[in-house]
Structure 1
Amino acid sequence: MVTLQNQSTAPNTPGDIKMLIVYFSHSGNTREIANQIKNLTGADIFEIQPIDAYPESYNAVVAQAKKEISGNFKPKLKSMAGNIEIYEIIFIGSPNWWSTIAPPVATFLSVNKLEGKTIIPFITHEGSRMGRSASDIKKYCPGSTILEGLPIRESNAKGALRDIASWLQCLGFNKR
Structure 2
Amino acid sequence: MSKSGKEIDMNWKNFFAAVAGGAIISGSAAAAVINEGDRILVAYYSLSGNTRAVAEQIKRETGADVAVIETAEAYPSAYKELTERAKREIADGYKPELKNKPDSIAAYDVVFVGSPCWWGTVAPAVASFLSAYDFSGKTVIPFMTHGGSGLGHAEADIKTMLPAARVEKGHAFWGRNARNAGEEVKDWIKELKNE
**TM-score normalised to the size of structure 2?**
0.82
Residue-pair matches, total:
167
- Mapping 1:122-141, distance limit 5 Å: 122-141=143-162
Instruction: Give yes or no for contact 2:104–2:133 (8 Å, CA) kept in 1.
Output: no
Measured on the aligned residues, the alpha-carbon RMSD in Å equals 1.4
Equivalent residue for 1:8?
Answer: 31
Equivalent of 1:143 in 160, 164, 182? 164
Report the structure number with the largest CA radius of gyration. 2
CA distance in 2, matches of 1:150, 1:53: 27
| 1:28 alignment counterpart | 49
- Aligned equivalents of 1:162 and 1:51: distance in 2? 34
SS at match of 1:84: coil
Sequence identity percentage: 40
Q: Distance in 2 between matches of 1:44 and 1:7?
A: 26
Any gaps of 5 or more consecutive residues in structure 1?
A: 1-5
The match for 2:125 among 93, 98, 104 is 104
Letter of the 1:119 counterpart: V
- Structure 2: which 5+ runs fail to align? 1-28
- 2:112 partner SS: strand
- Residue type of the alignment partner of 1:8: A
2:70 partner SS: coil
Q: How does the TM-score come out when normalised to structure 1?
A: 0.91
Matches within 5 A, 1:21-100: 21-100=42-121
CA distance in 1, matches of 2:40, 2:65: 6
